[in-house]
Amino acid sequence: MALINTIREKSGWAVGAIIIGLLLFMLGGDFLYGRNSFFSNNDTSVGEVAGEKVEYTDFENTLEQAKQQFIQQQQRQPDDQALGYLRDQAWNQTLYRIAFQKEFDKLGLKVSDEELTDMVQGVNIHPSIRQAFTDPKTGQFDVMKVKEYLRNLDKQDPQAQLAFANFEANLRPERLGIKYNNLLKLSTYVTTAEAKRYAESQAAQVSMRYLFVPYFTLSDSSVKVSNEQLQAYIDKNKGRYKVEDGRNIEYVSIPVTASVDDSTTIRKTVDELAAQFASAPVDSAFVKVHSDNPTNPTYLSPADMPEKLRSQLPLQVGKVYGPYAENGTYSLYKVTGEKAGAQPAARASHILIKADGTTPEADAAAKAKATEVLNKIKGGANFADMARQYGTDGTTATGGDLGWFQQGRMVPEFEKAVFGATSAGLLPNLVKTSFGYHIVKVTAPKTAQTYRVATVQKGIQATDATREAAYNKAQQLKGDATSLESFRAAVAKDKSLQKVEAKGLGRGDQAVNNLQGARRLVRWAYGNDNEAPNAKIGDVSPVIELGDQYVIAVLTGERTKGTADVASVKPEVTALVRNELKAEQIISKLNAAKGTTLEQIAQAYGNGAQVKTADNVVLGQGQIPGLGAEPVAVGKTFGLKAGQKSKAFAGEQGVLIVEPVSVTPATNADAKAAKLQLTGQRTARADGLIYEAIKQHANVTDNRTKFF
């Protein structure tokens, strides 16, 4: 079984890992939810790929294989999130199997039986086989061990035989995929002229001056943007605004939270457990039976203890500490033993003074500052106050407190000072480390004492009565809300409710904002809920239970696959169009400004115009130091002669006029190295691009939301 697990972990569905590059888009939810509703329509397909229907039973078989592999590898059943991942994996395997096989058939690609044999026990061994049969001590691979294993495979348990059979079955499509992708990847070509141009763009530099007027110098309110202008911008840039199906909803969630009465009830139970815990003959058995999160008793140093238990040091063997309430949980701790640990622990605070540079002068200044602060503390200043005022690391907020730590967790110089102290208190001398100069206060001297602690934890859970009250409140809201208007009115009346909006929900989304495991809510929005099917805009959902909350939603908008409409991208596009309109105003004003130098033009323009310089601007990077990404501005600068000014033009962040001061052209640009670099970059992207191209032309219809 160890061998099979190794092969499975390294291979899995090898095609998915090697060929597809599997950009998995998370889907999930209840595995069987909505199945009966779907089958009632006599349509048993979960989608269509390249004109071929994907039947539910075929997809379920693929998913079941993925689930069994997960269980074997993880030794647990998949949770909702993992199940969503597995559904994506099964869908992409199905997509690959159908769409890519059609491409293989067109080209006449085949994998012979001899090839398969060669991959398992021949010369060109599959990487998973090679790794599984490589001696970890010698690093040597022995093909004879493979052959011996195969001869005895029929003596393995049925699960091992099935696992190897699945691995072997995937070898053919994997090899076909490698052949297909290699045909395309090996066609990657970069011309010498292209490589030379790229190499020169990375080497050429310019020093420049530029006049810059940021868009924000004109107020947004001064520029009106119409819906017609927004639509025109989208039409001009359709490639940037391709969208999949989407849904917009407004919703309210009513949490099921434990009340004060619930907490009191749990506290009584925990108090009773504390008394029983103290006299329990077998602590590990008691923990296993009564703890919500059972763990074996273990020896803890002060550095590893919960803070509330650590505050009781030194601890007494046989005593039960607690209950302590923290993060919605009551905890009981019973000390069942004590002994000296391997590593001592201590607690300390520090004030770190860093040098402002690497020069001897900077180091001397930091030391002098640290000495000054140390003397203030020796003179009576409060250590924590000094840490907040002078500290230069993340401990300033806690007054320099580092908490407890075991030996071996800090830099050697610091540890030597702390663990060398025999008592608590301020260390008289500075401690220098690679980080700077430390003023150190030992707040708890070193101790090697450890305690064996058994822990019982009980979550503060809502009672059935509390859950029922939350459900009744949700049902009341549902009764009052029969439309979008009445939903909003009902929410507005109840100040304890907060309406939330979610836009652009995808068919496969598992979460809605911060609502996790929200598949039923998403499926309802797409009209696939059993209780309330065929939701239309304005419809209110039934009460949907999502973990510890009840949700009521109303469908407010729909988006179909294609180009985004104005409403769905309005904020983003409005900002872009507004900048275009601002650019027109700024350019017009700059063109009217009189002057021959950038400074004169800026002065004539007035407030907002600024003249700056930038050195070592690289053509191929498109960045102006101090300004950021401005590829058009960089390109225009390289197209001018030294001292020649451009016309005013729109940039990424504002309007610019550029003027090169000096240009350093590329000399001896290594076109050969550039060619290798570009070829490598394009080849590395090929697998993912090939998959996306095949998927795009396969006319994929994904109807999984009708099932899951």
- Give the model confidence (pLDDT) of 433-459 as tens digits: 999 999 999 999 999 999 999 999 999
Phi, psi dihedral angles at 211 (to 5 degrees)? -100, 135
Chosen domain end from 511, 538, 560: 560
Are 655 and 610 contained in the same domain?
yes
Distance CA 97, CA 695 (A): 11
Answer yes or no: is 685 within a domain: no
Check whether 18 has a pLDDT greater than 70. no
Answer yes or no: is 682 within a domain: no
Are 17 and 161 contained in the same domain?
yes
Are 332 and 286 contained in the same domain?
yes
Average pLDDT over residues 665-675: 86
Which residue is it, tokens 């998949």? 78
* Beta-bridge partner residues of 505: 247
- CATH number (domain holding residue 293): 3.10.50.40
Chosen domain end from 507, 537, 560: 560
% of the chain with per-residue pLDDT over 90 = 58
Are 555 and 588 contained in the same domain?
no
Are 660 and 519 contained in the same domain?
no
- Which pLDDT does position 42 carry in this prediction? 59
Check whether 360 has a pLDDT greater than 80. yes
342 token code pair: 């391997």
Are 120 and 23 contained in the same domain?
yes
Are 500 and 388 contained in the same domain?
no
475-506 per-position pLDDT tens digit: 999 999 999 999 999 999 998 999 999 988 98
- CATH number (domain holding residue 647): 3.10.50
Answer yes or no: is 676 within a domain: no
Are 50 and 171 contained in the same domain?
yes
Answer yes or no: is 686 within a domain: no
Which residue is it, tokens 């010698």? 138
Are 363 and 478 contained in the same domain?
no
Check whether 377 has a pLDDT greater than 90. yes
Residues sharing a CB contact under 8 Å with residue 95, sequence separation 6 or more, in sequence order: 49, 695, 698, 700
Average pLDDT over residues 148-177: 85
* No. of helices (H) and no. of strands (E), the chain: 25, 22
**Residue type at position 309:** L
- Which pLDDT does position 37 carry in this prediction? 40
Average pLDDT over residues 12-39: 36
Q: What angle do CA 625, 631, 635 make, to 5 degrees?
A: 100
Average pLDDT over residues 624-653: 95
Answer yes or no: is 230 within a domain: yes
Are 69 and 119 contained in the same domain?
yes
Domain extent, residue 535, equals: 246-257+464-560
Are 279 and 428 contained in the same domain?
yes
Chosen domain end from 461, 480, 505: 461
Distance CA 206, CA 661 (A): 7
Answer yes or no: is 705 within a domain: no
Answer yes or no: is 554 within a domain: yes
Cut 0.85: pTM above it = no
Are 519 and 624 contained in the same domain?
no
537-579 per-position pLDDT tens digit: 999 999 999 988 999 999 999 888 888 888 888 999 999 999 9
Tell me how many domains the chain contains.
4
CB 494 within 8 A of CB 246: no
Average pLDDT, the chain: 88
Check whether 20 has a pLDDT greater than 50. no
Answer yes or no: is 494 within a domain: yes
Q: What angle do CA 688, 108, 10 make, to 5 degrees?
A: 45
